[in-house]
């Protein structure tokens, strides 16, 4: 009876999987009905596989032990048995159909983006996410906020190391949120495990996904498609708020945008002090430029040019402003005109012209940046 004991032991070893349902070893159940469905589907298929495993191995070991040569057993001869062949075709066929039915149901539910309450365009961009609330006039970039010091071990790593951003995506609970995914450069993938949403963001294409989050909270994910050097540094953070809080938040975003526009307009007649621009510029540089041009300003030879001693950085101011505003098409140097305010660009230009031994002494004002934007617009006319 050894074979039976072995089979029972094996089954017992498998049983704790039920207890593992909410552990680090299993898939997470998430916070949406779909993520729960995906989890249930995963457990169903897993248990079917286990049951098949138990049955097949039990028969196999029983046969090996009971029909072993030392017992003097003569092997059965049933070549080309139609009965057996029909059975071993029909049984797996039935099992596969039984698996395909719930899998297809879940997949169709995941793909159904119709009747959404709100639509958000998600754009991957080396190496940050851009969120646009369609029809609301609200959009912003979401950039990783983990400090360089934590990354290089000069500082203890925080609780949400590499999974924190300056501005999370905010969505309302209980509402169907549709996502339109695309990319500015290479293929990224927007992934929040708690929502069971993982969708490629492809340049030139729009993919769709959706979620309806039941509970308020902060949910974290990452880019899930190898997208270059800082692929591991473009986390996704989503904050689900009650619909009332969400409306308050959305209204505050709209008024903040208006204020920023007014503040930018007001800046045009002002002359900002150099130290204010330097401080602003350093913050901008570390958040938006250091990933490529490096905190040291030395770049990565052959890939990202150094800012220290660069002929552009120490050359004519207008050319320097232009490359930041409009990027250099066809290279990883992207256009920052839409991402950064004129004050931020004035700051980063001033900062780079007076750091790492660059000592041009130039102070660039927001009005100069605006003048370059206007010049570009004139050109386009
Ligand atoms: Cu990416």
Tokens standing for 48?
């079917």
| DSSP code for 218 | E
User: What pLDDT shows up at residue 381?
Assistant: 63
Question: Whole-model pTM?
Answer: 0.75
Please choose, from the candidates 119, 161, 117, 125, the residue with its C-alpha nearest in 3D space to the C-alpha of residue 142.
Answer: 125
pLDDT tens per residue, range 348-374: 999 999 999 998 989 999 999 999 988
Q: Does residue 8 carry a pLDDT above 70?
A: no
Query: What architecture (CATH level 2) is domain 268-380?
Result: Orthogonal Bundle (1.10)
Which of 18-22, 84-88, 127-131, 268-272 bottoms out in mean pLDDT, i.e. has the lowest?
18-22
pLDDT tens per residue, range 283-317: 999 988 998 999 999 999 988 999 999 999 999 99
User: What protein residues have CB closer than 5 angstroms to ion ligand 1?
Assistant: 188, 223, 227, 234
333 and 274 in contact (C-beta within 8 Å)? Answer: no
Q: Does residue 245 carry a pLDDT above 80?
A: yes
Q: Does residue 4 carry a pLDDT above 50?
A: no
Q: Where are the domains of the chain?
A: 2-111, 118-261, 268-380
User: What pLDDT shows up at residue 266?
Assistant: 86
Q: Which CATH class is domain 2-111?
A: mainly alpha
CATH of 118-261, one of 3.40.50.720, 2.60.40.420, 3.40.109.10, 3.10.20.30: 2.60.40.420
The Å distance, Cα 179 to ligand 1 centre, comes to: 16
The Å distance, Cα 125 to ligand 1 centre, comes to: 7
pLDDT tens per residue, range 157-180: 989 999 999 999 999 999 999 999
The Å distance, Cα 80 to ligand 1 centre, comes to: 55
Which residue's entry shows tokens 């929040």? 192
């Amino acid at each position: 009876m050894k074979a039976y004991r072995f089979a029972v032991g094996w089954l017992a070893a498998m049983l704790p999987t039920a207890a593992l349902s909410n552990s680090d070893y299993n898939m997470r159940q998430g916070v949406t009905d779909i993520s729960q469905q995906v989890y249930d589907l995963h457990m169903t298929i897993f248990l079917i596989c286990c049951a098949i495993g138990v049955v097949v191995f039990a028969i196999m070991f029983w046969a090996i032990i009971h029909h072993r040569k030392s017992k003097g057993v003569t092997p059965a001869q049933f070549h080309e048995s139609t009965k057996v062949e029909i059975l071993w075709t029909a049984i797996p066929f039935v099992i596969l159909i039984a698996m395909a039915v719930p899998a297809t149901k879940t997949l169709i539910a995941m793909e159904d983006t119709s009747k959404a309450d709100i639509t958000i365009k998600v754009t991957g961009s080396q190496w940050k996410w851009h969120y646009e609330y369609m029809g609301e006039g609200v959009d912003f970039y979401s950039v990783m906020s983990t400090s360089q010091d934590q990354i290089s071990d000069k500082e203890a790593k925080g609780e949400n190391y590499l999974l924190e951003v300056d501005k999370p995506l905010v969505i309302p609970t209980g509402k169907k949120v549709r996502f339109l995914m695309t990319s500015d450069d290479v293929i990224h993938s927007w992934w929040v495990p708690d929502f069971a949403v993982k969708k490629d963001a492809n340049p030139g294409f729009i993919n769709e996904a959706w979620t309806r989050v039941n509970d308020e909270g902060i949910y974290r994910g990452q880019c899930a498609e190898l997208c270059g050097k800082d692929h591991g540094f473009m986390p996704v953070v989503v904050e689900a708020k009650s619909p009332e809080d969400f409306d308050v938040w959305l209204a505050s975003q709209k008024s903040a945008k208006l204020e920023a526009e007014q503040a930018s307009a007001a800046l045009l007649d002002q002359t900002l002090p150099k130290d204010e621009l330097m401080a602003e510029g350093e913050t901008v540089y570390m958040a938006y430029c250091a990933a490529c041009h490096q905190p040291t300003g030395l770049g990565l030879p052959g890939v990202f040019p150094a800012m220290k001693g660069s002929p552009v950085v120490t050359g004519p101011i207008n050319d320097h402003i232009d490359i930041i505003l409009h990027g250099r098409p066809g290279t990883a140097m992207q256009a920052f005109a839409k991402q950064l305010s004129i004050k931020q660009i004035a700051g980063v230009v001033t900062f780079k012209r007076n750091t790492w031994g660059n000592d041009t002494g130039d102070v660039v004002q927001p009005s100069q940046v605006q003048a370059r934007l206007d010049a570009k617009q004139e050109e386009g006319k």
